[in-house]
Structure 1
Amino acid sequence: MAINLRALRPLLGAAAVLSACGGSDGDTATAATYSAARDTVTVASGAIAAAAESQFGLRVFKAIPFAAPPVGALRWKAPQPVATWSGVRRSDAFSAACHQGNRPFGLPGSILYQQTEAQSEDCLYLNVWTGAAAATEKRPVMLLLHGGAYQLGAGSQPNYSGAGLAAKGAVVVTMNYRLGPLGFLAHPELSAESQDGVSGNYALLDAIAALKWVQANIAAFGGDPANVTLYSESAGAGLSSVLLGSPLAANLFHRLVIESLGSLPAGTANPTLAQAEAAGSTYAANVGAADLAALRAKTPQQLMAGAGSTIAPIVDGVVWPDQLDVLLAQGKVHDVPMLLGWNADEGTPYPAFATTLAAYEATATARYGAMAPQFKAVYPAATDADVLTMAYQPMRDSLFAWQPWTLARAHAAQRRASTFVYFFHRRPAYYADQRFAEQDPPSNYGAYHSLEQVYLYNNLDRSAPPRPYDATDRRLADAASSYLVNFARHGDPNGSGLTPWPTFTGADSPVMGLGDSIGPVAVPFRPALDFFDAFYAQKLGRALPF
């Protein structure tokens, strides 16, 4: 396959120029002649050279700015346009990550920890992987919203590499969004200076800005702006589920993948603007800032160390018009196909529900009150050993499984676009010398929270941590990533040579098991999921949205 420069001539006005050879219009590049330094793409803000690691057939462009640096007076502002540059911008290295919070489950030693990265407020950059040789190819586009509890993560982390999915035909985009108080602080003074009268949700606005960048520029990389899949995990899934109901995201994405979380009100409503502003005022006092000017004078490190701010999406009436269950019940969500799911052992990187029978009894009563007997019927324990057996299951079921399970049922009830649900249950092996903070031996993690990503994203050889993957792992990763790219391409994961994946039509539908075997299975953990349906509906005071 060759890169034909003449084919790109009609697209010059649309900012699509690829010059892999640097010769005349009749020149073509081959695997032997390809030069990353001479492979340039022009986007709205300027020209970019492919990263040095690029190869013929898999080109990488790192650290492309999609918004102006949110620093100084632009701290806690909606993303602003990128300044144009002259010459050719290099893209050999990732940008700094956005400033990170201090969470124990993201620190060295945790299974969820991936790498040390430079951090900066100047962090609104994205990365593109493409196998397209010409801008006319119109490959499906996939944009990732990473996880990290709204406090950690970056689009540069190895498990998120776009290389594996690009090799299967997608144009992949990963991005950074602002985190912690820098991404979610609401405050009365911030709302007063906003033209919409709201504040917070800067991380969501960053995601919307990146989606708009994709619409304006991705054709230059061989992507189809009319076929964009937003894929997401954990906190990223929380953001993307909000975008499902955000009018500001209308027509910016056409398919949605949600892994292991969502932003439904789980018993307690999501914070409103008034609540978040009040929390922001408390936060400002906690960090010793008398007003907005004093807040903007603080270092990012001081701000990220502060306590009291809302650090989650806010129902502000603009970016997020209402609680997600209300929007779903009213049909006020974007009509896009959805693929959702969860893992068999989501809770194992997190604190146990209890480790003794006495703690089990006390915690069940404290959390579930009058419904504690029903909880204990689902998770029975008569000894300390029984408690250790169930210790990580409530975290899995109440949060990481219940959210996508409920979103899937609500989406299917719309009877519009298709819904597909998976259950990931592969438990991989580890090297003999590997040790992590939360479980010892690491085989106790099982199919833990976020593990599915390296399989779905076809990144086993780039995974953090590395593992001694075997033929079963590789067969699963090949199939799972093919399903994902098929979904991005057609809105349906099914394709030639793959075990058929059934459409999810409601609570009695099977889901797709992804593990040592691949095929439809009954929905797992139903008694627990049914309990949390009843508990959350009772606490919230309204029925589920289907």
Structure 2
Amino acid sequence: MIKFIAKRIFLISFVTLINNASAQNPLQKRIESGVIEGTISQHDNQVEKYLGIPYAQPPIGDLRWKAPQKPIPWQGVLKTQEFSKKAMQPLDKWSTRDNLSEDCLYLNVWKPTELGEAKFPVLVIIHGGGLGKGGTRGPELNGSNMAKKGIVVVTVNYRLNIFGFLAHPELSTETNYEGSGNYGFMDQQLALQWVKNNIAVFGGDPNRITIAGESAGARSVHILSTSPLSKDLIIGAIGSSDGVKPVYSLKTAENIGVLVLEKLGYKTVAELRQASTEDIIKLYDSHKAGNAINPFQPTLDNYVIPNEITKIYKESKQVNIPLLIGWNSAEHPAKHFLKGANFTKKKFIKRTKEVFPGHYEKVLDMYSHETEEDIKWSATHLSSLRTVMKSWKWFDLHQKYSKAPVYRYLFSKIPPPAKTVDLSKYTPPLGPKHAADIPYAWGNLDKIKSHHYTKDDYKVSALMQ
């Protein structure tokens, strides 16, 4: 009995000590799962940052290809002062094996140091990367400059590629909604729920959460704003350079999953759950998982996406919130459309017939192609059209079926050339390419060291913010 009382006294004293420490140290915050400790932003002492906060349990072992689970509470103070690893993905110039992990369900928060009595609006940014790569570690998504403007900024990691979007008949039998896939979107929605439940601790208003994203981040924003799981979580949406795309039927996605397992050499999902992360990503990276760069895409899973997107809008089942949507004036270069730098009339006509077999005469009539300059402009427009039309479709559905307003922007500021470019041989592009707007939008030109940005660039950035 005496030992029991002594343990109780020790536990109460320990909890009291932690609570007192949180009260005395403004960089310690008590959230649902425990106490975290952030740091002052190295970019500005007006901003606090909390990096690598777990919003879910690591999706590994038996939790691989399952809905994310809330994190297990911890004792003591969790240091949240460094970015977590990015979601597992193929290697590129931004990714090494050292900064990738399946244990990736973490988010980052930036807040103004001085809050006062007001609760600040919250901006949740979802990174792009085709749902197959990307993360929140890059300087272009740093939240410090936006936070200085009186906003609490959150960036979110989520599962990608085969780890985030694999559907399979065996996985569908494990769920009560008889569907599978879309785990990356479930991660995003659990992160939104975390923000709703915890952001007041950081001075944010849980009733004023806006979600934003570029490219696959915009597609994610679009899915979240049409999903029944997002009701009452968000009050606004911003989508850049992406939007409405067809989604797989459940049967199609499951068939892809079956084929993938066969190609990877596994008979069951249970076997694949036992495989190492390295084995799976190596096989995926070597394209043995299929011919497409990322065959794992959004699925009509009867849960996150319960119906075709157009039907969701026509039945007014989307989240009725204001939308800001836009794109860049030269999303993709002319050579993407022409499949090379052959800017000849013959090549342009040939490619137009291939891309628009039923309408090529109308397209040739609409787009000038007599001179090399004409062909560059027309091919740039047609190459960018694949991205632009997804955004237009989103804009159109919102305008027709939503009670909330929709706003459109066009970004056409051409960034300066990289510092490594030989200016004597430099020819300015016809417009900003895909993703060139990101550091402008979030005020991070000062953190991009590869370019000499000018006063005009900073003026455009200030306008976008």
TM over 0.5, yes or no?
yes
TM-score, normalization: structure 2? 0.87
- Asked if the contact 1:336/1:417 (under 8 Å) is kept, the reply is yes
Query: Structure 1 CA distance, aligned partners of 2:357 and 2:337?
Result: 19
TM-score between the two structures when normalised by the length of structure 1 = 0.74
State the Cα distance separating 1:333 from its structure 2 match: 0.9
- 1:19-34 aligned within 5 A: 22=24
Contact 1:381–1:387 (CA under 8 A) maintained in structure 2: yes
Deviates more, 1:182-191 or 1:129-138: 129-138
Letter in 2 for 1:209: L
Question: Match for 2:316: what amino acid?
Answer: G
1:156 corresponds to which residue?
A: 137
**Out of 30, 36, 53, which is 1:42 matched to?**
30
Contact residue 22 and residue 35 of structure 2 kept, 8 A: no
Choose the corresponding residue for 1:300, options 269, 277, 301: 277
Matched, 1:338 2:323: yes
Q: Aligned match of 1:366 in 345, 351, 354?
A: 354
Alignment of 1:428-447 (within 5 A): 428-434=415-421, 441=426, 443-444=428-429, 446-447=431-432
2:34 touches 2:74 (CA, 8 Å); kept in 1? yes
Cα 1:286–1:58 change in 2 (3 A) is same
How far residue 21 of structure 1 moved from its aligned partner, in angstroms, is 8.1
**What percent identity do the matched residue pairs reach?**
30
- Aligned partners of 2:334 and 2:379 also within 8 Å: no
Is 1:258 the counterpart of 2:239? The answer is yes
1:21-170 alignment, distance < 5 Å: 22=24, 39-51=27-39, 53=41, 56-101=45-90, 107-108=92-93, 118-134=99-115, 136-170=117-151
SS at match of 2:53: strand
- In the aligned structure 1, how far is the partner of 2:81 from the partner of 2:335? 36
Q: Which residue of 2 aligns with 1:188?
A: 169
Q: Which runs of 4+ in 1 moved over 4 A?
A: 16-21, 113-117, 382-386
| Distance apart, 1:136 and its partner CA | 5.0
Note the C-alpha offset of 1:155: 1.6
Which position in structure 2 is the counterpart of 1:541?
A: none
Q: What secondary structure is seen at the aligned counterpart in 2 of 1:78?
A: coil
Q: Which moved more, 1:146-155 or 1:465-474?
A: 465-474
Q: Deviations over 1:441-499 (max 9, x none)?
A: 47337311111111111111112x63111111111111210xxxxxxxxxxxxxxxxxx
Count how many residue pairs are aligned between Structure 1 and Structure 2: 434
Deviations 1:52-77 (A, max 9, x none): 54665310000000000000111001
Instruction: Supply the distance in 2 between the matched residues of 1:17 and 1:349 (Cα, whole angstroms).
Output: 60
Range moving further from structure 2, 140-149 or 296-305:
296-305
The 2-side partners of 1:174 and 1:278 are apart by: 33
Query: Match of 1:339, SS?
Result: strand
Query: Which of 448, 451, 458 is 1:467 aligned to?
Result: 451
2: CA distance, partners of 1:58 / 1:349:
42
CA shift at 1:49, angstroms? Answer: 0.8
Residue 146 of structure 2 aligns with an amino acid whose one-letter code is: L
Q: Determine which structure has the larger helix proportion and give its number.
A: 2
Alpha-carbon distance, 1:364 to partner: 2.4
The answer to whether 1:409 aligns with 2:391 is no
Post-superposition offset of 1:97: 0.2
Which deviates the most, 130-139 or 252-261? 130-139
Residue pair 1:244, 1:333 contacting (<8 A) in 2 also: yes
C-alpha displacement at 1:39, in angstroms?
A: 1.7
Distance in 2, matches of 1:476 and 1:116, equals: 36
Question: Is the CA contact (8 Å cut-off) linking 2:104 and 2:158 kept in structure 1?
Answer: yes
Q: Shift of the alpha carbon at 1:362?
A: 3.5
- TM-superposed CA distance for 1:256, in Å, is 0.3
CA contact (8 A) 1:101 1:179 kept: no
> Matched residues in 1 for 2:206 and 2:311: separation?
30
Q: Which runs of 5+ in 2 are unaligned?
A: 1-17
Aligned to 2:225: 244
- CA-to-aligned-CA distance 1:415-466 (integer Å, 9 cap, x gap): 511211100010121245248xxxx847337311111111111111112x63
Q: Deviations for 1:103-136, whole angstroms, at most 9, x for unmatched residues? A: xxxx43xxxx699960000000000000054585
Contact kept in structure 2, 1:99 and 1:120, CA below 8 Å: yes
Cα distance between partner residues in 2 of 1:135 and 1:42: 19
**In structure 2, the residue corresponding to 1:194 is in which secondary structure?**
coil
CA contact (8 A) 2:244 2:394 kept: no
Deviation at 1:137, TM superposition (A): 2.9
Write the distance in 1 (CA, Å) between the matches of 2:149 and 2:21.
Answer: 23
Provide the C-alpha distance between the structure 1 equivalents of 2:20 and 2:191, rounded to a whole number of angstroms.
22
Aligned to 2:260: 283
1:359 Cα shift? 4.2
Contact 2:167 2:253 in 1 (8 A): yes
Secondary structure, aligned partner of 1:341 = strand
- Deviation, structure 1 residue 235: 0.3
Cα separation, partners in 2 of 1:349 and 1:165, compared to 1, 3 Å: farther
Residue identity matched to 1:146:
H
Deviation readout 1:385-432 (Å, 9 max, x if unpaired): 654443332231222x22222222221223511211100010121245
Match runs of 1:3-22 below 5 Å: 22=24
Task: Say whether 1:274 aligns with 2:251.
Answer: yes
Aligned counterpart for 1:398 among listed residues 359, 379, 386: 386
Q: Deviation of residue 146 (structure 1)?
A: 0.7
The alpha carbon displacement at 1:340 in A equals 0.5
Greater Cα offset, 369-378 or 173-182: 369-378
* Whole-angstrom distance in 2 between the partners of 1:252 and 1:337: 14
Matched, 1:215 2:196: yes
Q: Deviations over 1:494-517 (max 9, x none)?
A: xxxxxxxxxxxxxxxxxxxxxxxx
C-alpha distance in 2, partners of 1:284/1:255?
A: 39
CA distance in 2, matches of 1:170, 1:192: 43
In structure 1, distance between residues paired with 2:237 and 2:21: 33
Task: Choose 199-208 or 290-299, whichever is displaced more.
Answer: 290-299
Tell me the amino acid that sits aligned with residue 263 of structure 2: N
- Distance apart, 1:298 and its partner CA: 2.5
Counterpart Cα distance in 2 of 1:57 and 1:181? 40
Q: Which digits, 9 at most, give the CA deviation of each residue in 1:26-45, with x for residues without a partner?
A: xxxxxxxxxxx762001001
Aligned-partner Cα distance in 1 for 2:347–2:335: 17
- Give the secondary-structure state (helix, strand or coil) at the position aligned to 2:218: helix
Counterpart contact for 1:212–1:252, Cα < 8 Å: yes
Give the residue type in structure 1 aligned to 2:254: E
Q: In 1, Cα distance between the equivalents of 2:438 and 2:319?
A: 25
Partner SS, residue 86 of structure 2: coil
* CA distances 1:154-180 after superposition (whole Å, capped 9, x unpaired): 122210111111011110000101111
